[in-house]
Chain A
Amino acid sequence: MTNFRATAATAALLCFTAFGASTASADGEVNVYTYRETKLIQPLFDAFTKDTGIKVNVVSASSGLEQRMKAEGANSPADVLLTVDLGRLDDAVQAGVTQPIKSVVLDEIVPAQYRDPDGQWAGISMRARVIYASKDRVKQDKITYEELADPKWKGKICIRSGQHIYNNGLFAAYVAKHGEAKAEEWLKGVKANLAQKPSGGDREAARDVAAGKCDIGIGNTYYWALMMNNDPEKKPWAEATKVILPTFEGGGTHVNLSGVLLAKHAPNKANGVKLIEWLAGEKAQKIYADANYEYPIRAGVAVNPTIAGYGKLTADPTPIAKIVANRKAASTLVDKVGFDN
């Protein structure tokens, strides 16, 4: 027994040294908590380090980072939090783990619609929630979100889970536009038009259209471009479909944001702000646009040609903050109409 203990203790010690309680708040570093996959943002961080000499340390997770920051409290090593969607922006603010980003640069670059009124967060890139329509079977070139509930699409729509953050954002925008009662009617209508139980991801929506299971799929702008340009195997899925930028009646296309927040107890606050401003800079925006096919938040940076091929994006003018406020209602409605059942 004692032998076992000794071994375990030694092993534990080894572990401590192996992973070393490293890099908490040294100069020339910045610590990033992110919901974005590191594989995607690493090229950005590498470029940042090259430009500024500041080293970027990263933890990426799928959920719970704001809870971790909250529990870490004043000792939290986090400087910057990157999110993939607008919902998490609000979660972080609600958890009280952020501080206003005071940056004139950022205020100039990011349109007010894509910033928190109190300066707690800012959007860093955009994507639109659009329609992948069958080239053969869909003749229309324009579709409204409202129209998705039209019985003419009965049995023809494929979509991922109604509780997924991307759909949650779209549905919340619908609630913000039309109110809960109308949104419920609409969701019921869309549900009735589904070809199959909501499942898979956005790519699968294109695939199911290609295989003839449905005529239109709902997906984000960049997935289609990724399939078309970066994945020879999935290229046929994209080729069988055309991207239609839908709009709300009398409004624009729903866009979601990946955003950035400054941690409340950021130990390297100056570097954090530097990183945030750099991400909004032309070079980073260009990398965002070309590596992940997102719409740059910064005016004047070219949209990638594939994305530009969808047509001109007119974004829904509803302030993101208002959409965020309707997330909960949208999530409840999805359950209420049994969207995923």
Chain B
Amino acid sequence: MLVAAPVISIIALAMQPAPDVWQPLIEYVLPRSLLDTALLLGGVGILSLAIGTGTAWAISLHEFRGRQMLLWLVPLPLAIPTYLAAYVYVDLFEPLGLIHKTLALWLPLQDAVRVLPNLRSLPGAIIVIALVLYPYVYLSARTMFQFQSAEFAEAAKTLGAGRWTTFWRISLPMARPALAVGVALVSLETLNDIGASEYLGVRTLTVSVFTTWLNRGSLAGAAQLSCFMLAIVAGLIAIERYGRRNVTTEFSAESPRLTQRTPLTGIKGACAFATCLLPVCLGFLVPLLFLAHQSFKRGLFANFDMALWRDAFNSVAFASIATLTALLLGFATILAWRWRPNGLRYVAMNIAQTGYTLPGLVLALGLLAPVLAIDNGINTLAGWLGQSLPGLIIVGSGAAVIIAYVIRFLAVPTGFIKAGFERIPRDYDDSARAVGAGQTTTMWLIHLPLLRPAMLGAVIVVFVDCLKELPATLLLRPLNVDTLATSIYQYASRGSFEEGALAALLIVAASIGPVAWLTRFSDVPAGPA
């Protein structure tokens, strides 16, 4: 119900007539932005799938020098918000930027500007966005590769299959549900993104929603466009489900033995290391160093603004509470479905995933009406009872921000936990029941321990996502409250985001901890050699 509220609210908004909006939209805007959106989603999907799966496979199933370090490093781009990556890369590649000036050492300035790649383009957006979003695929793929039982790989080996054949024919198909979750997350993040795509000049549907509302003053038109987007996403999810309807990926119950890692030595090991390191450098180290350099150069470390601590505290507090709530709700939804699947719960499970498909701003707008209806209701009630009016409790306390986060990111724990449950054979439940264990006992003793990696993954992703969230935070936060993200926005909207470099660094720093923590706990010992 919680998640459905803004969706219903958006649909209600969409019901209002917006006659003069659609005709020009259909004629001039939609064909182009549909194509751009499709190309962007496709491009980012393929690129992040390639990077995420490749690194996950190399790291999970091979042993080479530097692997331990990569375990920590590879997921780190998750700590970089897409809009920050866009700012940084445009800054580096812009005319008179670092790359241009370096080129100008050999070429005349005006010629150098011509060979400069234009990042403010569809290919530029695809590369920049994929570089920071691939960890979604990596994380879900890794969980899958790690727990693949050894017997499949061994069987393949005895039949004479090489490592690559095993990868293509065994590992990859088995990891498909996890990869689908990862790519779905990447696609939804991409679709929701306004900051990066707008900055990079790609007019996606989301950007169109935004313009329709702002310049044409038509919230109804924007809401209708959003519904249209929702329909597209629902379609994509349905296609994806249909595509893997016959794939079973439960453990082989008899032999949950883990695959041993193939050692790679010498040049092969070095190549594997270098290949895995490259996306980390581009997606994480480059932005990090850039921000650190800017902070240092501008003396931001020396003149530390104490307000930043307060903003950081707000960010972490909002994010932690939202994460816990989302995890609980996600787990409860999926568990209810596992225990007793029925139509209603199926619907509930699917609704839990819709929040993610709404752009943050649209979600915030949709949320305003129901949340404030409650707030205003409380006040009316208080006035009626002759009490003093409490004011707007939900919005005034920041609870509205948390509600927005939970709705927005509930899809993550739901997706992760669902994928996790799909790997736990129903036989386990049945066996537990056979020895007299109730549902709750089964949950505590069997489900929870087996789900730990999936849940940890979900916690990290949601927490970091909350830290990075911008549009809903901007609109719903109480008076005099800022988070790190809104603080960066203040600078960026003045066109000098470098001055917010320190706040950006703090977001990254706050995210590194959880991300690294995740990798530490998710690496399982290899099977006996």
Binding site for B on A (CB under 8 A): 1, 4-5, 7-8, 11-12, 15-16, 18-25, 31, 37-40, 57-65, 67-68, 71-77, 87, 90-91, 94, 161, 163, 165, 168, 196-204, 207-208, 210-213, 223, 231, 236-237, 327-328, 330-332, 335-336, 338, 340-341
Please tell me which one of the listed residues A64, A65, A211 contacts residue B109 in the complex, with CB atoms under 8 A apart. Answer: A211
Please state if A74 and B391 are interface contacts (CB–CB under 8 Å): no
Q: How far is the CB of B212 from chain A (nearest CB, A)?
A: 8
| Interface: B324 (CB within 8 A) | yes
| Interface: B384 (CB within 8 A) | no
Chain A, interface SS category = helix
Q: How far is the CB of A338 from chain B (nearest CB, A)?
A: 7
Chain A's closest residue to B472 (CB) is A64
Given contacts A21-B393, A61-B475, contact A211 B118 (CB under 8 A): no
Closest 8 CB pairs of A and B: A211-B95, A331-B215, A24-B391, A71-B368, A335-B28, A21-B396, A57-B479, A71-B372
Q: How far is the CB of B447 from chain A (nearest CB, A)?
A: 12
- B476 CB contacts on chain A under 8 angstroms: 68
Please state if A15 and B479 are interface contacts (CB–CB under 8 Å): no
Given contacts A7-B324, A208-B95, contact A15 B211 (CB under 8 A): no
- B residues 4-42 touching A (CB-CB < 8 Å): 20, 24-25, 27-29, 32
- A90 CB contacts on chain B under 8 angstroms: 217
CA distance A67 to B366 in the complex (A): 10
Given contacts A64-B365, A67-B219, A74-B376, contact A31 B100 (CB under 8 A): no
- A202 CB contacts on chain B under 8 angstroms: 495
| Interface: B480 (CB within 8 A) | yes
Binding site for A on B (CB under 8 A): 20, 24-25, 27-29, 32, 90, 94-96, 100, 109-110, 113, 118, 120-121, 198, 200-201, 203, 210-211, 213-217, 219, 314, 317-318, 320-321, 324-325, 328, 361, 364-365, 368-369, 371-373, 375-376, 379, 389-393, 395-399, 402, 471, 474-482, 486, 489-491, 493-496
Please state if B216 and A87 are interface contacts (CB–CB under 8 Å): no
Q: How far is the CB of B316 from chain A (nearest CB, A)?
A: 11
CA distance A151 to B321 in the complex (A): 59
Given contacts A200-B120, A236-B96, contact A328 B217 (CB under 8 A): yes
Q: How far is the CB of B191 from chain A (nearest CB, A)?
A: 19
Q: How far is the CB of B297 from chain A (nearest CB, A)?
A: 9
Please tell me which one of the listed residues B113, B365, B373, B399 contacts residue A15 in the complex, with CB atoms under 8 A apart. Answer: B399
- B200 CB contacts on chain A under 8 angstroms: 199
- A208 CB contacts on chain B under 8 angstroms: 95
- A331 CB contacts on chain B under 8 angstroms: 211, 215-216
Given contacts A15-B397, A15-B399, contact A91 B217 (CB under 8 A): yes
Please state if B396 and A24 are interface contacts (CB–CB under 8 Å): yes
Please state if B493 and A37 are interface contacts (CB–CB under 8 Å): yes
CA distance A338 to B33 in the complex (A): 12
Chain A's closest residue to B496 (CB) is A231
CA distance A77 to B393 in the complex (A): 11
CA distance A31 to B402 in the complex (A): 22
Please state if A72 and B32 are interface contacts (CB–CB under 8 Å): no
- A12 CB contacts on chain B under 8 angstroms: 321, 325, 399, 402
Q: How far is the CB of B436 from chain A (nearest CB, A)?
A: 21
Chain B's closest residue to A334 (CB) is B215
Chain A's closest residue to B207 (CB) is A163
Please state if A72 and B495 are interface contacts (CB–CB under 8 Å): no
Please tell me which one of the listed residues B118, B328, B364, B495 contacts residue A223 in the complex, with CB atoms under 8 A apart. Answer: B495
- A210 CB contacts on chain B under 8 angstroms: 95-96
- B25 CB contacts on chain A under 8 angstroms: 335
Please tell me which one of the listed residues A23, A74, A204, A236 contacts residue B94 in the complex, with CB atoms under 8 A apart. Answer: A204
CA distance A73 to B375 in the complex (A): 10
Please state if B214 and A212 are interface contacts (CB–CB under 8 Å): no
- B317 CB contacts on chain A under 8 angstroms: 15, 18
- A168 CB contacts on chain B under 8 angstroms: 215
Beyond the given A73-B376, A327-B216, could you list 5 further A-B residue pairs with CB under 8 A, ordered by the A residue number? A25-B391, A72-B375, A327-B215, A327-B217, A335-B29
CA distance A257 to B182 in the complex (A): 46
Please tell me which one of the listed residues B28, B213, B474, B477 contacts residue A338 in the complex, with CB atoms under 8 A apart. Answer: B28
Please state if B479 and A23 are interface contacts (CB–CB under 8 Å): yes
Please state if B325 and A8 are interface contacts (CB–CB under 8 Å): yes
- A197 CB contacts on chain B under 8 angstroms: 120-121, 201
